[in-house]
Amino acid sequence: MDQSAPKFDFDDILIQPAVQSTVNSRKTVSVSDEYKMLPLFAAPMDTVTDEANLHLFRSNNIYPILPRTQTKHHTLDECRRSKEWLALSLDQFEHLFGNGTVLNETDNIHVLIDIANGHMKRLVDTLVKTREQFRKELVIMVGNVANPETFFELSAAGADFVRVGIGNGSGCSTSVHTGIGYPLASLIHDINLGKAAHNGPFAKVVADGGIKKYADIIKALALGADYVMCGGIFNKALESAGNTYSANKKFEGYTVPGDQVDQYSDEVKTAFKMGSVFYKKFRGMSTKEVQAHLGNELRSSEGVTRMVQVEYTLAGWVENFTDYLSSAMSYTNSTNLSSFIGKPGWNLITENSLNRFNK
């Protein structure tokens, strides 16, 4: 890897259209994976997903993951019964799937080992040991990592999915405080390039952190991400799990949160459609609030907490995303995800170029 080469992020590039496209209408483009789902994961954050809204993400063709704050007491039987992804700490994972655990071929359990530092040798050793015991019964996602070579080590150890990206997320302050990180667009690109020098099969790449707009997701896929994980984007949806508050009428412009409301109620959904303003709590999973909730020893926070305004419904956001991704794929002569992911050309652009189109 050339460490002297500048690394780039999503605003630094534009996807290049194909010379010619045989796609006559974006309606003929398939934006779904083999399971008819969008290439999207909802981040396992307690202000994004919970037991009450998992079905809403699923019905909008987004993979939800139940956060660790709601899975800290899960048993093996509960994992078996769950039809969704579950986030577990490394300690939890080793306890549930360690020596003596018996799984049936039909179990098909999906688990995210949710740790901030996916570079730990302990994680690799745990994966190798687990894969010696379980093959298809257990689908495992790991991360987060910010080094292309670590992605290949975790793939070889038996990971099915690897979350890539450290310090990029809107709820994460790791890079600010520690100086650790890797621009996410370059990280995805470098992993995609590195596949030629490594033996497969490879884990699915899950781009995680700092996704701010539709184009960021589309560029991540074009660079080689198989899936994109979103937290802050989905928190801004009315149906996200974050505590929801009506705008306080006492303040001019309704710019201050007021009383807490039930975001899932028909009354609130109707009011939002009629133009009422609502706010959401958003917090990173490394904040002291979450540490205390999990019963962990409090340490320096590497997360942030803020209030954000609700901008859309989940269905409305998905409708727009589907249209924009379909359009991008039609420009690049891609009829399905497999012909789009990691395939289009792209160009580095100047700041002036960004300002020209970034309206």
- 227 neighbors 40 (Cβ within 8 angstroms): yes
Q: Name the phi and psi angles at 63, rounded to 5.
A: -75, 115
Distance, in Å, from the CA atom of 177 to the CA atom of 301, rounded to the nearest integer, reads: 10
The secondary element (H helix, E strand) that includes residue 192 is helix 184-194
Q: Provide the β-strand partners of residue 282.
A: 306
Strands ordered across the beta sheet of 278-283: 257-261, 244-247, 278-283, 305-309
Q: Name the phi and psi angles at 121, rounded to 5.
A: -60, -35
Helix, strand or coil for residue 212?
A: coil
The secondary element (H helix, E strand) that includes residue 328 is helix 314-331
> What angle, 0 to 180 degrees and rounded to 10, lies between the N-to-C axes of helices 148-157 and 184-194?
50
Distance, in Å, from the CA atom of 345 to the CA atom of 335, rounded to the nearest integer, reads: 16
Q: Which of 79, 111, 172, 222 is catalytic?
A: 172
Q: Provide the β-strand partners of residue 263.
A: none
Distance, in Å, from the CA atom of 309 to the CA atom of 315, rounded to the nearest integer, reads: 17
Structure tokens at 233: 């984007």
Structure tokens at 353: 């170029």
Q: What's 246-305 look like in SS3?
A: EECCCCHHHCCEEEEECCCCHHHHHHHHCCCCEEEEEECCCCHHHHHHCCCCCCCCCECE
Q: Is 172 a catalytic residue?
A: yes
The catalytic residues are 172
